[in-house]
Each structure stands twice: as C-alpha cells, then as structure tokens.
Amino acid sequence: MGSMFALLQASGATDTATNAAGAVANATDAVANAAAAAPEAISAAESAAAAEAAKAAAGQAHTSLWDMVMDATIVSKIVLAILVLCAIYALSLLFEKVLVMRATKSKIANFMSAFKKAKTPDEAATLVAKQPDSTIKKMFSAGWAEVQKTRDMGLYNMKTGDHTLARIQTAMDLEQNKGVEDLGSNMTFLASIGANAPFIGLFGTVFGIMNSFIGIANSQTTSLAVVAPGIAEALLATAAGLLAAIPAVLIYNFSSKSIGQVGGYMDDFKAEFLSLLSRDMDSKN
C-alpha cells in the first residue's frame, strides 16, 4: 500500500513537471510571436508617416502662383507690387510711344511732300499752312517769322544772308529742341526701370533666401519643405525684376531710335528750308 501511494505521488510530480514545461513553451512562443509582430508594427508606422509626407508633398505640388504670392512675406509682397506696377507702366508707355512716333512720322512725311512742291519760300508758306499742327510745322513757322522780320528791316539780301540764315536756323533749332524734348518724355523713367528693376528683384531674392536660412535654423532640419517657400519667393522676385526691366529696356531702345530718326528728318527739312531761302535771297540781287 505504501508502495502504491509512492508511485501515485511520483506520477503526479511527473504530470506537474510536464505542465510546467508546456507553460514555459507557450510563454516562449508568445514572446517569439510578439517579437515577430514588432517589426510589422514599426513598418506600419513608417508606412503611415510616408503616406502623410506624400500627401503633404502632393498638396504642395498643387500650390498655384497666386497662392505663393499670397503666402509671401510683407517685404516680398511690397517688392512684387513695385515691380509689377513698373512693368505695367512700361508696357503702357510702349503703346504710347508707338502711336506718337507713327503719328509724328506721318505728319513729317506729309509736310515734306507739300514743302518740296514749293519753288519759293512764299509758295512754301502757302502750301504748308494747310498741314496739321506738328513740330516740323512749328519749326517752319518760327523760321518764317524770322524771315518776315528780316524783310521788314530791309536785310533780306545776299550781303546779310549769312547772318539772316543763322538767325533763322536758331529760331528753328529752338522749336526743334522743344519737339524732341516732348517726344522724349518719360525716357528717364524707362531708363531708371531698366537699370534698377533687376536690383529691386535682387533685394527680394536675398530676402527670400535669408528667410530660408532662418527657417532651417528654427526647424533644425534641411528638409526641402522648409527651404522651398523662401526659395520660391526669391525666384518670384527675380522673375518680377526681369519682367519689369526687359520691356523697359526694349521700349527705351525703340524710343531712342525713333526719336533719332525724327530728329534726322527735322535736320533734313531745316537744311532744305535754309537752302531755299539762300537761293531766294541770291535771286533778288
């Protein structure tokens, strides 16, 4: 009986040991499963973060130029406003200069066509009187007024011809200078825009880059998302500076060339008128 009881105790101890070993094995499997699941959890977190970053990048990719302007700093907005106004004004001057130069050249051509039909100064005065008001007509009127004064003084002859022609030329030069000055209005402003607009844009560029470095310092990161806004402002200011400067320079060059041509036409007319007067004075002696 005692032996039987001992055998039963031994068997119970064996079962207990077996159960304990099974529990240890189960715990080991649980730890292994948890360890295997941890990388999957980390990968899922990384995927979620990547998805958020991609979403943010997609939102930035659809940012319009207007949104970029509205999000710019106050300094950048002031720079952009100045440059845009300069560009608009320069383009408006282009239309003005084109129309004024075409009208002036047309009036000069019609005036010269009528003037060249005259064989005497008096005949020329009659023919050009019908022409519309213009600088070249004012030149003729100023010279003709000096001719009349010279005639009234009895000095309209070959002996005093050099002095008479010099006075007539001076009177015509004064009117010519006034006309050329009127044609050259706003030229200084165009030159100023062409010379200074790139530097104004450069100021905006420097300010935008400065903001980019400040953003890097504050965020302690060199991520493109931090640097991009300031760089975008910088590039926008540079583009605006060129947008204002290039048309201004082109318009200035066009106007300068046209004014030079008109001035040459006026010089030619003045030479022909003085030659006509010289021949007329010689014929009266």
pTM of model > 0.85: no
- 221: tokens are 């990161």
| Domain end residue (candidates: 62, 93, 110) | 62
CA 137 from chain center: how many Å? 39
Q: Are residues 20 and 56 in the same domain?
A: yes
User: Contact 195/242 with Cβ under 8 angstroms?
Assistant: no
Cα separation, 152 vs 179, whole angstroms? 28
In 3D, which of 199, 195, 204, 187 has the Cα closest to residue 246?
Answer: 195
Q: Are residues 137 and 213 in the same domain?
A: yes
Q: Write out the residue range of the structural domain in which residue 237 sits.
A: 67-283
Q: Are residues 18 and 49 in the same domain?
A: yes
The number of folded domains in the chain is 2
Per-residue model confidence as pLDDT tens for the chain (285 residues): 444 434 334 444 445 444 544 544 454 454 445 444 444 444 555 555 544 544 444 444 456 666 666 766 788 888 888 999 998 998 888 888 999 999 999 999 999 999 999 889 999 999 998 899 999 999 999 999 999 998 888 877 777 778 888 999 999 999 999 999 999 888 988 999 999 999 998 888 888 888 777 777 777 766 666 677 677 777 888 888 998 999 899 999 999 999 999 999 999 999 999 999 988 888 776
Distances (CA, A) of 257 to 103, 115, 122, 144, 183: 15, 25, 34, 29, 12
Q: Are residues 244 and 108 in the same domain?
A: yes
